[in-house]
């Protein structure tokens, strides 16, 4: 086995780097620093080591050891449970919750990234054995980049047009166009909504997008991310200032009202467009013959 040391450590390093480069704190502040960083980097190193061991063990005909590697790789499924439980526990501390669909999507993502580190390490190991280190570096990097790009799903801006519009207030009702979103009894609250409230209209481009935006998990994810990116004027006991999302059942557009801390309409539009479309929320009725005929 010692003759494969250089190949092993080179593959381990590239697989670990592939995982480390995907580990960053964004506007969602997850994973948290430093504790979640330590957890995920450690798991990434283990995954990369497993991928780097496959070729040497096959060459040495250590088939029993490969069986143990397979068992160890299956433990990465526990990563999803760990992330799900962690996010579910802190969900009560969020003014605007992520929602179960968003949490499940994050949990799947972190599980999949460990497999990406394993595959990148294995590919580098395989190429290194048949060629040299710089070709292995190029090949492993391309595989890691390709897998990472493949894992990136669509955003709201990819499936819908986003418009920032004025909210309409009729007596005690707040809404957008003819869609009533909320009834507010306090005159002071109505005045604040009238002065600072912002409306967002998300118009689906096809029936697939319309079905996706109708998903409750996707709506909750949009509200959560929008509140993080632009801030909201909300606190406990001020439920009449809570952001809301309602569907226009006639045309399928999603209407949102909220009171942002940063009322810049350009950035509000960009913020909504970059919000991810959840994997579990995506619907594809146009993929089916009946769905296409109904759309026509």
Tell me how far apart the alpha carbons of residues 105 and 277 are, in angstroms, rounded to a whole number: 10
Q: Are residues 24 and 48 in the same domain?
A: yes
Specify whether the CB–CB gap between 101 and 217 falls below 8 A: yes
Domain boundary among 99, 120, 152: 152
- From residue 41, how far is each of 21, 69, 113, 220 by CA, in Å? 10, 19, 11, 30
Mean pLDDT, to the nearest integer, of 13-32? Answer: 74
Look at residue 279 in the predicted model and tell me its pLDDT: 87
Which of 80 and 156 is assigned the larger pLDDT?
156
Q: Are residues 117 and 133 in the same domain?
A: yes
* 160: enclosing H helix or E strand: strand 160-165
pLDDT in tens, 235-245: 877 778 889 99
For the chain, the C-alpha Rg in angstroms (whole number) is 24
Tell me how far apart the alpha carbons of residues 118 and 49 are, in angstroms, rounded to a whole number: 7
Q: Are residues 132 and 169 in the same domain?
A: no
Tell me how far apart the alpha carbons of residues 136 and 149 are, in angstroms, rounded to a whole number: 20
Per cent of the chain over pLDDT 90 is 25
Q: Are residues 128 and 49 in the same domain?
A: yes
Range of the domain at 36: 2-152
Domain boundary among 124, 152, 180: 152
How confident is residue 288, by pLDDT bands cut at 50, 70 and 90? low
pLDDT at 26 exceeding the cut of 80:
no
Residue with tokens 């063990």: 57
pLDDT in tens, 191-201: 888 888 899 99
Cβ-based neighbours of 195, under 8 Å, separated by 6 or more: none
Three-state SS for 183? strand
Q: Are residues 148 and 223 in the same domain?
A: no
Q: Are residues 182 and 142 in the same domain?
A: no
pLDDT in tens, 115-144: 889 899 999 999 998 888 888 889 989 998
Look at residue 2 in the predicted model and tell me its pLDDT: 46
Number of folded domains that form the chain: 2
Which of 282 and 31 is assigned the larger pLDDT?
282
Three-state SS for 217? helix
Long-range contacts of 58-67, Cβ-Cβ distance < 8 Å, separation of 24 or more: 59/4, 59/129, 60/1
pLDDT at 29 exceeding the cut of 60:
no
pLDDT at 248 exceeding the cut of 70:
yes
**What's this model's pTM, rounded to 2 decimal places?**
0.84
pLDDT in tens, 35-91: 778 888 888 898 898 888 888 888 888 777 777 677 766 777 777 888 888 888 888
pLDDT at 291 exceeding the cut of 70:
no
Tell me how far apart the alpha carbons of residues 201 and 223 are, in angstroms, rounded to a whole number: 13
Sheet-wide strand order for 160-165: 160-165, 198-204, 254-258, 244-247
Q: Are residues 9 and 116 in the same domain?
A: yes
Q: Are residues 147 and 172 in the same domain?
A: no
- From residue 74, how far is each of 17, 22, 114, 214, 283 by CA, in Å? 22, 21, 11, 35, 29
Q: Which of 209, 248, 202 is nearest to 223 (CA)?
A: 202
pLDDT in tens, 177-225: 888 888 887 888 888 888 888 999 999 998 889 999 999 999 999 999 9
Domain boundary among 123, 152, 181: 152
Asked whether the CA dihedral 155, 93, 41, 82 is positive or negative, the reply is negative
Averaged pLDDT of the chain: 84
Backbone angles phi, psi at 76, to 5 degrees: -65, -15
pLDDT at 112 exceeding the cut of 80:
yes
**DSSP assignment, residue 244?**
E
Look at residue 31 in the predicted model and tell me its pLDDT: 65
User: Which residues sit opposite 113 in a β-bridge?
Assistant: none
């Amino acid at each position: 086995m010692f003759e494969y040391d250089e190949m092993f450590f080179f593959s381990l390093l590239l697989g670990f780097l592939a995982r480390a480069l995907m580990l960053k704190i964004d506007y969602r502040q997850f994973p948290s620093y430093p504790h979640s960083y330590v957890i995920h980097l450690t798991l990434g190193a283990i995954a990369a080591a497993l991928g780097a061991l496959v070729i040497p063990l096959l060459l040495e005909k250590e088939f029993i050891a490969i069986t143990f590697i397979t068992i160890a790789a299956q433990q990465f499924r526990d990563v999803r449970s760990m992330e799900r439980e962690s996010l579910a526990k802190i969900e009560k501390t969020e003014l605007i919750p992520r929602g179960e669909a968003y949490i499940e999507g994050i949990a799947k993502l972190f599980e999949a990234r460990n497999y990406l580190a394993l595959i990148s390490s294995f590919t580098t190991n395989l190429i290194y054995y048949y060629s040299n280190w710089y070709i292995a570096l190029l090949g492993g990097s391309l595989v890691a980049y390709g897998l990472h790009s493949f894992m990136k799903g669509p955003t709201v801006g990819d499936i819908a047009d986003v418009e920032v519009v004025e909210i309409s207030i009729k007596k005690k009702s707040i809404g957008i166009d003819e869609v009533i979103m909320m009834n507010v009894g306090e005159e002071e609250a109505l005045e604040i909504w009238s002065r600072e409230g912002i409306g967002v209209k998300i118009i689906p481009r096809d029936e697939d997008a319309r079905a996706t935006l109708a998903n409750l998990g996707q709506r909750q994810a949009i509200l959560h991310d929008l509140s993080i990116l632009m801030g909201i004027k909300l606190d406990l006991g001020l439920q009449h200032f809570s952001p809301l999302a309602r569907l226009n059942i006639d045309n399928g557009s999603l209407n949102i009202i909220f009171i942002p801390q940063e009322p810049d309409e350009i950035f509000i539009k960009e913020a909504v467009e970059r919000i991810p479309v959840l994997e579990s929320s995506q619907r594809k009725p146009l993929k089916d013959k009946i769905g296409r005929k109904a759309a026509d």
